[in-house]
């Protein structure tokens, strides 16, 4: 039997994740499986596009695990229970992507079931928060288990919320798992490291299709699976390595966490709607609207507009829409990058990590208010989507101007 060095094992494992995810996406895109209309409140794309990117991602990750087990690359058997535990939330998310019949509460219930299975099968239970007095209570399962379920459900929902423009969720997720991988490598936790590497490679393959033109989408299955894996790998990393602050993984994911908490606050206490009610007032939604409006403004002397408009009716507007969509993710990757750098730099300093997380919450709030003010200044009174590119159809199904006023 061929023996592989540790580096060769990781390279083969990552390569199998990349190639298998790429092949699965290629098949889905070219056969046009599950291509759906662009119509929808939160949709900002043009063409009918498949939401089975999450399924391809999971296939790539599973193939990589299979290759690793078959070739005895790395001790991967302990990773199988976690993959089994992820199946309920993945299957329910996949059914929503295909049939669109699963309410948000049932999807979160599936996340709860997966979290419960992980607690039993993979010992994925929160054991410490590095807070005085609180850690003592976490020795009691009736307290530790509900907290674990809440954290896993929150992570699944957070990744689903930021999946709102081309490349945003994919790029942010790569930063999250890269942070987990570096922390795991630093303390010698090979099991968490190899699982994080598998997720990074599968996500990288997906991102090449998803950004910048959105050839395939992550879907609920992919977002929930990513959120579940990040939460569980974080829990296991912190539980097995006391040299890492429990707040490092929270600071690492500060952007999606704060986005989720603020969205729930805005819906429930500002707009007085259900906390799970979808809207178009996320930070990425406002940035998209600002970029789109800026791109549609007439520029004196720019002959390209006349050329495009005469050659392709609606073409200039479509080009602006695609460009605005593609420019949202890099702006918010900066948020993820700051969180990434801070979490790694202060990974042993609990006080600094808590302080950074609170500070980022304030920075997010300032960015949100700035996006609202810019929207007002440039006259964004309607939210244009790629599914409504025609000037005659520019009016959306909602009135974002009033919603933006309420969001303040």
Tens digit of pLDDT for each residue in 251-274?
999 999 999 999 999 988 888 888
Residue 252 in any domain: the answer is no
pLDDT at residue 297 in the model: 54
Instruction: Kindly state the average pLDDT of the residues 295-304.
Output: 50
C-alpha 45/C-alpha 254 separation (Å) is 27
Most confident of 61-70, 284-293, 314-323: 61-70
Q: Both 12 and 120 in a single domain?
A: yes
Q: For residue 256, what are its two tokens? A: 């999606």
Instruction: Kindly state the average pLDDT of the residues 79-94.
Output: 96
Give yes or no for residue 186 having a pLDDT over 50: yes
> Per mean pLDDT, which range of 221-230, 289-298, 299-308 is the poorest?
299-308
Sorted by sequence, the CB contacts under 8 Å of residue 335 that are 6+ apart come out as 255, 360, 364, 367
More confident residue, 391 or 180: 180
C-alpha 40/C-alpha 42 separation (Å) is 6
The answer to whether the predicted template modeling score (pTM) of the entire model surpasses 0.75 is: yes
State yes or no: cis peptide before 32, omega within 30 of 0. no
pLDDT class of 189 with cuts at 50, 70, 90: very high
Q: Both 183 and 42 in a single domain?
A: yes
Beta-carbon count within 10 A of 21 CB:
27
Q: Both 37 and 166 in a single domain?
A: yes
pLDDT at residue 240 in the model: 94
Residue 274 in any domain: the answer is yes
Q: Both 180 and 271 in a single domain?
A: no
- pLDDT, the chain, mean: 85
pLDDT at residue 353 in the model: 98
Instruction: List % helix, strand, coil for the chain (3-state, nearest 5).
Output: 70, 0, 30
Give yes or no for residue 315 having a pLDDT over 80: no
Q: Both 116 and 186 in a single domain?
A: yes
Q: Both 312 and 236 in a single domain?
A: no
pLDDT class of 217 with cuts at 50, 70, 90: very high
CA 26 from chain center: how many Å?
Answer: 22
More confident residue, 376 or 214: 214
Q: Both 237 and 272 in a single domain?
A: no
Instruction: Kindly state the average pLDDT of the residues 370-382.
Output: 71
The total number of structural domains that make up the chain: 2
Give yes or no for residue 203 having a pLDDT over 90: yes
More confident residue, 213 or 329: 329
pLDDT at residue 6 in the model: 79
Q: Both 30 and 169 in a single domain?
A: yes
Instruction: Kindly state the average pLDDT of the residues 348-353.
Output: 98
Q: Both 318 and 184 in a single domain?
A: no
Domain with 84 in it: 6-242
Residue 256 in any domain: the answer is no
Residue 248 in any domain: the answer is no
Give yes or no for residue 391 having a pLDDT over 50: no
Cα–Cα nearest to 79, from 206, 196, 251, 252? 196
Give yes or no for residue 395 having a pLDDT over 90: no
Instruction: Kindly state the average pLDDT of the residues 207-213.
Output: 93
> Per mean pLDDT, which range of 93-97, 172-176, 389-393 is the poorest?
389-393
Residue 104 in any domain: the answer is yes
Residue 261 in any domain: the answer is no
Residues 50 and 36: beta-carbon distance below 8 Å: yes
Instruction: Kindly state the average pLDDT of the residues 221-227.
Output: 97
pLDDT at residue 71 in the model: 83
Alpha helices in 211-278 (DSSP H): 219-240, 248-252, 254-265
Residue 258 in any domain: the answer is no
Q: Both 110 and 145 in a single domain?
A: yes
Q: Both 167 and 275 in a single domain?
A: no
Residue 144 in any domain: the answer is yes
pLDDT at residue 381 in the model: 45
pLDDT class of 44 with cuts at 50, 70, 90: low
Q: Both 280 and 173 in a single domain?
A: no
More confident residue, 325 or 158: 158
């Amino acid at each position: 039997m061929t023996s592989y060095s540790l580096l060769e094992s990781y390279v083969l494992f990552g390569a199998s994740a990349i190639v298998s995810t790429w092949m699965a996406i290629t098949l889905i895109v070219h056969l046009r499986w599950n291509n759906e209309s662009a119509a929808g409140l939160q949709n900002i794309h043009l063409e009918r596009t498949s939401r089975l990117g999450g399924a391809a991602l999971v296939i790539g990750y599973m193939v990589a695990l299979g290759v690793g087990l078959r070739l005895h690359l790395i001790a991967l058997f302990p990773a199988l229970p976690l993959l089994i535990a992820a199946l309920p939330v993945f299957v329910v998310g996949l059914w929503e992507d295909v049939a669109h019949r699963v309410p948000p509460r049932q999807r979160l219930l599936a996340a709860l079931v997966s979290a419960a299975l992980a607690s039993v099968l993979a010992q994925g239970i929160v054991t410490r928060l590095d807070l005085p007095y609180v850690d003592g209570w976490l020795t009691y399962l009736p307290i530790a288990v509900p907290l674990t379920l809440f954290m896993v459900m929150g992570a699944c929902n957070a990744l689903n919320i930021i999946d709102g423009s081309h490349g945003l969720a994919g790029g942010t997720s790569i930063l999250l798992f890269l942070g987990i991988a570096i922390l795991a490598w630093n303390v010698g936790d090979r099991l968490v490291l190899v699982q994080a590497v598998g997720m990074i490679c599968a996500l990288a393959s997906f991102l090449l299709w998803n950004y910048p033109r959105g050839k395939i989408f992550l879907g609920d299955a992919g977002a929930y699976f990513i959120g579940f894996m990040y939460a569980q790998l974080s829990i296991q990393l912190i539980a097995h390595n006391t040299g890492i602050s429990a707040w490092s993984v929270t600071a690492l994911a500060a952007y999606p966490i704060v986005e989720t908490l603020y969205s729930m606050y805005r819906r429930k206490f500002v707009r007085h709607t259900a906390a799970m009610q979808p809207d178009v007032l996320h930070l990425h939604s406002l940035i998209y609207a600002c970029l789109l409006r800026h791109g549609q403004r007439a520029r004196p002397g720019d002959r390209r507009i006349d050329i495009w408009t005469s050659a392709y009716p609606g073409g200039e507007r479509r080009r602006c829409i695609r460009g605005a969509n593609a420019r949202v993710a890099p702006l918010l990757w900066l948020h993820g990058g700051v969180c990434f750098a801070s979490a790694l730099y202060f990974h042993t300093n609990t006080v600094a990590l808590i302080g950074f997380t609170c500070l980022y919450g304030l920075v997010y709030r300032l960015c949100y208010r700035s996006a609202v003010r810019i929207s007002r200044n440039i006259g964004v009174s309607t939210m244009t989507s790629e599914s409504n590119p025609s000037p005659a159809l520019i009016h959306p199904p909602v009135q974002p101007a009033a919603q933006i006023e309420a969001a303040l």
